[in-house]
Structure 1
Amino acid sequence: MNKKERIKHVEKTHGRKATASKLAEASSTTKNIKMYISLALIALVIIIVASIFLNSPNLKQEANQTSSSSKTEETTRSQGKKDDKDKVKEEEIQKLKEQLADLDTKISESEQHVSQLKKEASVPKLDIEALRNNDLSSLEGTWRTQSGNEYIINDSGEVQSSWIYNDQKHESIVELKVSKSQNDRNPETVALGAWAKGSQAGGFVVVVVPSAVVMEPGGDGKITDNSNHAEDRLFAGQQYEGMLMHPENVYYRVKPDTSQLESEENNLTKLKVDRDAIKSALESKEK
């Protein structure tokens, strides 16, 4: 509708000629109507396109795939973190098992060492009855006097004897055998005959005295036993009174040095404590 047609339309509608203001108002109204119609059409087109988009199977599939892919990536990341934790845990468990196996080996070796050291440090208990039956094994070991004389006796009763005379050290091999004659004054002791190996001459007597036994006095009670009564002892000589008169020449059993044994026992205790700690840690990890 052109301008002339609008004028005629207005005049016909209102029964009079249109003024300029009326014509402008009519023109504005027409424009507004056209604008509203255009907006409505645009909105309708948007709704139709959106409906097509949302109801399209391919687009739905793509959207689902995108969502699924996002979930998969998240699951993969989560699984990756879990796998890393499991790997670290397995490595820690394996390390603890290796430490435990190493400690088991060290403990076994230490126990064997302790057993050997205990055997070396063990001191036979003096057996008087066995000695009377000529079993001299309970004398085995080293015996020494305060003056430095020494007997090293094996289980058969053979003695490696050494003594100091005129500041010179002398040595000989001495054989021991239970004596047929025993001292009635000291029934709790045993007298052994002693002589240089291969010779019956120049023999002497060795009297075995258990701890807590006190030798009877000699010389009408004037010569007493001044040895250490708390220890097993060996008196050696040819005359009873002579043996009593020289307590510095009484033989006492030499006790082995147990410092190495004590050190190894402490080491074994520590190894066992360490093993218990590792075992506890391993059990905790494996839960």
Structure 2
Amino acid sequence: MSLPRADKKLGQHFLRDAKIIETITSDHQDGDHAILEVGPGPAILTPFLAKRGRPFAVIEMDARFEELLRPITDNIHIGDALDVNMDEFLQEKFPGQEVLLVSNLPYNVSVPLLTKFIATPAITRMTLMFQKEVADKVFSEGKNSMGSLQALTCAYFEVKPLCKVPPGAFMPPPKVDSSVISLKRRAEPLVAFDLMKAYEKFLRLFFSQKRKQLGSVLKSSYEISAVESALVPIGHDRTIRAEALKLSDVIHLFNFLESKK
């Protein structure tokens, strides 16, 4: 059958570059993970992932693609991944197994999906494609590049860029560049997993005005004396800006201020 037309409302762009397809589907070859593909669309990556011979399932929002996916796997969930209780879903599909999640994330929901995946302990590895602008917020080594999304992701995952993807690699081509990122869950998280919700809330405040002096940003929620005390061990004062701090500094400040509540 011919491919259904890409749905702009769902942010669909179908990958067609063979080299990039190989790069994505060859990531995380070590280990015996089950594999979950989110948003397989017209089964571009799907046959290569299924060939690994690991337990395999897909979540696809667009029911038009079920006919294309069915010859590859019967393990298909039609629905929005954001609405799926991921812990229960993975326990049902892959009981007791670690999971590699692969997805060409829809640009309009990539951040809430990433946050959902981070909060799912069974997902221990991921290969994810983002709009380049979002990918740079997930991981960047540039000066003053630290932000809430990077501080959250890197507290729980080791992250590395895998490849850049130009618009011409898709049909239809998007108006922006994309990037693929490889993630591996840390054996020991840098922030306790049961504190993740509190850490997310802290990061939203911390980076809400990341070019403003940190003392001014945090004084609405914390005693300024506690903020100043927290900054001393990392060699800064209240005039430092959030974007200038390293991940270890951000985590230190969270742990210190959380302990003073």
The answer to whether the superposition gives a TM-score over 0.5 is no
Greater helix content: 1
TM-score normalised by L of structure 1 = 0.21
Highest Rg: 1 or 2? 1
Q: TM-score, normalised by structure 2?
A: 0.22
